[in-house]
Structure 1
Amino acid sequence: MEADNRGSPTFLRLKGQPLLYAVTACCSVSFLLFGYDLGFMGGLTTNVEFLETFDNPNSQLLGFLVSSYEVGAMFGALAQFAVGDYFGGRKPNNVIGISTLIIGAVIQTSSFSQGQFIAGRLIAGFGLGIVTTVIPIWLAECTVPKSRGRMMAMQLSTMILGLIIANWLDYGMAEHHSGSIQWRLPCAFQIVFALLVLIFIPWLPESPRYLASVGKHEAAEHSLAALRGGFPDDPEISFEFKEIQYAIAVESEDVGGWSDVFHDNGISGFTRVAIAFSANFFQQMSGVNVMSSLGPYVFQNSIGMSAHNAMLVSGGLQVWYFLSSLFPWYAVDRFGRRKLFMAGSIGMFSCMTLSAIFVGIDKKGTGYAAAAVLYLFHTFFTLGWQSNMWIYPSELLPLKLRLRGGALSVVSQWMFTFVVVEITPVMIDNIGYKSYIVFAIFNLCTLPLVYFCYPETTRQPLEVIDLLFGDKEDGTRPTIFEVVRNSKNKEFVKRIDEQLKENARLRDENENILDESKAEIQHVEKDPTEQA
């Protein structure tokens, strides 16, 4: 903890919005690793040196060499569910994840057998599963409501930058180098980004909401003051902290424990975890990671391009993907999560349907038309299901269940990333153009689910979202359909916000009265001794 020349708390001599950008930058490099690790294996699936090193695996084994990473990530997220709350905060968990990823990267780089390479993929994936669980929560708990989505959109653009670096590094190494360095250098290069995170994360603030939840109130106030660019006793900062304390007090009364991720005791814990789980599920079943992890394979084996052209078109796709990801910077906090989810799903359904038609016709011209449609698919994905999905579980889940519930939602992410990456080569080999129909159907299915079951969370304090799930005036708990309806009602949300402020004020006043009463009692009890 530092302070500027006026005594205001700082980290790295930064406070307020610059400090929020620093936290976002650290989170972004972590997610760059996410994109890089998904992307660099795509180029290796058609690399002759890599395939010969591992005895030219068939499509099923090749799929597992890629998707074993997702298996490791799924278990990393499960580890966060089981023990993540015992490692002292968002930052320490991220350090553990990044360190584990580095170990896995070293094992992959030095591999000479399928077993060793798979072990390295599993270990590195385990580390990334931890990182992708913790990072969105840390960012959501540090940012302000009006820019929360934009900060996540910036982070996800950096993830795509990782895909670009991976694809073009694969291409450059295949074109200009010979021997196993063609694939070993891409395996090792991820360590550079991991070390950057390890260097900077100790100097950044811990989540003030996490600190408050474990009773470290002074540290929480300092962290919040630094993130908001003021002093702990500034009225706005002090009041935000009181709101956080009030929400924690409500949860301590209504939420029984971590097992509420499986029950609707308390503030609809299971319902909220199920929605977060489904968001991750449908994001993966949209088909986006078919192209992220297996782009060159798809362009070569499904669309019929040469290996060289497949690498070029796949690299170009990632550049287009990055440019498309800039649109959500503007849109994500302006149009709302629900509208963007549904608009993205409609666009992705249309693109997958057209891809099935073009690939099914099976002519050279229609193959390139299918490639163009897959480019457009990524525009709709970034607008609807990229930044939106990664911030949504952290906004939706209550503080006490945020890490465990977020871990389960990330389990869904990695479980179905594994499924998609594992089955895609087999699907392409066996059912061809119908593969795209499968993904089109999943995109269509998201529309009624989002419309009826996904509450709006845009630009709302996390504590207000908690109260949307709270008991009604008659003591009954609202159904998810009522919560969704209320979340769209601006007047209702405004009343909830006012209720939060009033309850936080009353709680603070009552605590002050109680503290004064305790002081008077202690004084009365002490007087006889003094007189003696």
Structure 2
Amino acid sequence: MAETNTTGSPSYLGLKGQPLLYAVTLCCSVSFLLFGYDLGFMGGLTTNTEFLNQFGNPNSTLLGFLVSAYEVGAMFGALAQFAVGDYFGGRKNNNIIGISTLIVGAAIQTSSFSQGQFIAGRIVAGLGLGVVTTVIPIWLSECTVPKSRGRMMAMQLSTMILGLIIANWLDYGMAEHHTGSIQWRLPCGFQIVFAIFVLALIPWLPESPRYLASAGKNEEAEYALAALRGGFPETPEIAYEFKEIKYAIAVESEDVGGWSDIFHDNGISGFTRVAIAFSANFFQQMSGVNVMSSLGPYVFENSIGMSSHNAMLVSGGLQVWYFLSSLVPWYAVDKFGRRKLFLTGSIGMFSCMTLSAIFVGVNTKGTGYAAAAVLYIFHSFFTLGWQSNMWVYPSELLPLRLRLRGGALSVVSQWMFTFVVVEITPVMIDNIGYKSYIVFAIFNLCTLPLVYFCYPETSRQPLEVIDLLFADKEDGTRPTIFEVVKNSTNPEFARSIEEQLKENSRLRDENENIIDETKAEAMHLEKDPALQV
């Protein structure tokens, strides 16, 4: 909730500037911690005797669906954001709706006694998470400053892995030290704790200034932006940034016809940008990372041949390694740029999946442990290239008018293919064994030419500058995606675009002031008694 301190400077919760950005990041991070927890806690339950007995010892296909029903719900939650998300009054309100829905689903899962009830709870909770994972990256990217946008997202994704760690070790602890259905009911219900924290914090934080400006709430937008930047609306740097935001909105309102521009290139290259965002989510999931996140104990036990106890331990250790690896992008994601990290991550993940196929195929005790070690290394490359990097990329790439709908479609891709991977992995392991890893290796290899030729660089650029990369050239023609990529990697071109944005914003602001002064003068003349006939 907004407030004004003794100096008149805008603030929320008594915070402004970087501390306020950290508060927004904290709220987003706990939401993503919940995301990680919900992905991870089912992994331990897939080998939990109490859980399996409660639901009739399902075969590998049904067990896969008990896990992946969550992804089905999340996919429809993201689709709901595509269809109606713009009508619920901003990023904060949508997140509150998503978290509240998730709590209902968690309660249904915790109280389940039948497969149908548990699956229903998974789907309802997934609906909520689909909303949250659509809105949170957009809200964070629209609040942060360009130079630290990637780092803030990296922090958020590290907490997602922290959620995986909590889930894995809670599963392990409950299985080792408790008996009865509490072994699995407590992990199901524990997700509500994180959800309540988010619901308690989010009303006191600022709405996205870009959303407020696009909704015509300019005074609220200026206030929120000033609080997030630690100054006043009239502070020159803040005033310039707000002018740039208004300029980008004005340009889009002239060129964009509506949501259907997602499927066309007219105006702002809508379809091209949505397709790239969709592909980034697709390739992240087809890398194979969620095989280990959602089914780690199952993979270590059934693919590599570990005992149930050792599989739980090694899976829990993997999540700790995953978290430590995720700290590297805090430094790297804004320093090296999106494209280099995408490419580096894909090369590393391809190599690791190839080695895993070889080690599992040889099938000795020594190569089994070597395969487990390589899967640890795989997660290091994933966090470097395709974790925080991917989650921030669609929000940077998409234009404001299409950011929620386009982001929703890209998250649909995320959950659709998470479902596919989690659903088919147990069946793949049972039927084709080591060849499962070859499938994921091929997908990682395919990302290399796509990223190199079709993914523009967006790191450290204002969101409005990225819009201008896709704008018509001086001769009136629209640049191809290959030209956009080339220009985005040229520092001089990027600087010229930023200067163009500042100049256009200044000219538009001056024209608006002239128009306002003319209107005011006209109204004054109309009211002047001396001029009345």
Q: Which TM-score bucket, shorter chain as reference?
A: over 0.9
Aligned partners of 1:460, 1:341: CA distance in 2, in Å?
Answer: 17
Per the alignment, residue 467 of structure 1 pairs with 468
Per the alignment, residue 70 of structure 1 pairs with 71
Q: Deviations over 1:207-246 (max 9, x none)?
A: 0000000100000000000000000111110110000000
Per the alignment, residue 237 of structure 1 pairs with 238
Per the alignment, residue 405 of structure 2 pairs with 404
Q: Say what the alpha-carbon RMSD is for the aligned residues.
A: 0.7
Per the alignment, residue 22 of structure 2 pairs with 21
Aligned partners of 1:232, 1:411: CA distance in 2, in Å?
Answer: 37
1:130 matched to 2:152? The reply is no
Question: Which AA in structure 2 matches 1:58?
Answer: N
* Structure 1 residue 54: Cα displacement: 0.1
Alignment of 1:350-361 (within 5 A): 350-361=351-362
Q: Is the 8 A contact 2:164 2:319 kept in 1?
A: yes
Per the alignment, residue 310 of structure 1 pairs with 311
Per the alignment, residue 389 of structure 1 pairs with 390
Aligned partners of 1:418, 1:519: CA distance in 2, in Å?
Answer: 59
Structure 2: gaps of 5 or more residues: none
Aligned partners of 2:509, 2:84: CA distance in 1, in Å?
Answer: 33
Per the alignment, residue 154 of structure 1 pairs with 155
* Structure 1 residue 206: Cα displacement: 0.1
Structure 1: gaps of 5 or more residues: none
Per the alignment, residue 376 of structure 2 pairs with 375
1:30 matched to 2:38? The reply is no
Question: Which AA in structure 1 matches 2:198?
Answer: V
Per the alignment, residue 55 of structure 2 pairs with 54
Per the alignment, residue 187 of structure 1 pairs with 188
Question: Which AA in structure 2 matches 1:101?
Answer: L
Q: Deviations over 1:372-423 (max 9, x none)?
A: 0000000000000000000000000000000000000000000000000000
* Structure 1 residue 530: Cα displacement: 7.2
Per the alignment, residue 88 of structure 2 pairs with 87
Q: Deviations over 1:268-316 (max 9, x none)?
A: 0000000000000000000000000000000000000000000000000
What SS class does the counterpart of residue 332 from structure 1 fall into?
helix
Aligned partners of 1:471, 1:114: CA distance in 2, in Å?
Answer: 55
Per the alignment, residue 480 of structure 2 pairs with 479
What SS class does the counterpart of residue 2 from structure 1 fall into?
strand
Q: Deviations over 1:12-59 (max 9, x none)?
A: 000000000000000000000000000000000000000000000000
Per the alignment, residue 285 of structure 2 pairs with 284
* Structure 1 residue 255: Cα displacement: 1.2
Per the alignment, residue 175 of structure 1 pairs with 176
1:251 matched to 2:248? The reply is no
Q: Is the 8 A contact 2:165 2:319 kept in 1?
A: yes
Aligned partners of 2:532, 2:281: CA distance in 1, in Å?
Answer: 69
* Structure 1 residue 529: Cα displacement: 7.1
Per the alignment, residue 336 of structure 2 pairs with 335
Aligned partners of 2:531, 2:51: CA distance in 1, in Å?
Answer: 84
What SS class does the counterpart of residue 265 from structure 1 fall into?
coil
* Structure 1 residue 531: Cα displacement: 5.4
Per the alignment, residue 45 of structure 1 pairs with 46
Aligned partners of 1:442, 1:82: CA distance in 2, in Å?
Answer: 30
What SS class does the counterpart of residue 341 from structure 2 fall into?
helix
What SS class does the counterpart of residue 528 from structure 2 fall into?
helix
Q: TM-score, normalization: structure 1?
A: 0.99
Aligned partners of 1:266, 1:91: CA distance in 2, in Å?
Answer: 28
Aligned partners of 1:492, 1:328: CA distance in 2, in Å?
Answer: 26
Q: Deviations over 1:447-467 (max 9, x none)?
A: 000000000000000000000
Question: Which AA in structure 2 matches 1:487?
Answer: S
Per the alignment, residue 520 of structure 1 pairs with 521
* Structure 1 residue 474: Cα displacement: 0.4
Q: Is the 8 A contact 2:12 2:205 kept in 1?
A: yes
Question: Which AA in structure 2 matches 1:175?
Answer: E
Per the alignment, residue 503 of structure 1 pairs with 504
Q: Is the 8 A contact 2:18 2:228 kept in 1?
A: yes
Per the alignment, residue 220 of structure 1 pairs with 221
Per the alignment, residue 205 of structure 1 pairs with 206
When structure 1 is superposed on structure 2, of 246-255 and 407-416 the one drifting more is 246-255
* Structure 1 residue 492: Cα displacement: 0.6
* Structure 1 residue 519: Cα displacement: 1.2
What SS class does the counterpart of residue 353 from structure 2 fall into?
helix
Aligned partners of 1:289, 1:230: CA distance in 2, in Å?
Answer: 42
Q: Deviations over 1:61-81 (max 9, x none)?
A: 000000000000000000000
What SS class does the counterpart of residue 78 from structure 2 fall into?
helix
Q: Deviations over 1:304-332 (max 9, x none)?
A: 00000000000000000000000000000
Question: Which AA in structure 1 matches 2:406?
Answer: G
* Structure 1 residue 527: Cα displacement: 1.9
* Structure 1 residue 3: Cα displacement: 1.2
Per the alignment, residue 425 of structure 2 pairs with 424
* Structure 1 residue 184: Cα displacement: 0.1
Question: Which AA in structure 2 matches 1:377?
Answer: F
When structure 1 is superposed on structure 2, of 454-463 and 516-525 the one drifting more is 516-525
Question: Which AA in structure 2 matches 1:298?
Answer: V
Per the alignment, residue 363 of structure 1 pairs with 364
Aligned partners of 2:226, 2:125: CA distance in 1, in Å?
Answer: 36
Q: TM-score, normalization: structure 2?
A: 0.99
Aligned partners of 2:248, 2:73: CA distance in 1, in Å?
Answer: 35
Q: Is the 8 A contact 2:525 2:531 kept in 1?
A: no
What SS class does the counterpart of residue 335 from structure 2 fall into?
coil
Q: Is the 8 A contact 2:82 2:409 kept in 1?
A: yes
Per the alignment, residue 327 of structure 2 pairs with 326
Question: Which AA in structure 1 matches 2:367?
Answer: T
State, as a whole percentage, how many aligned pairs show the same letter.
86
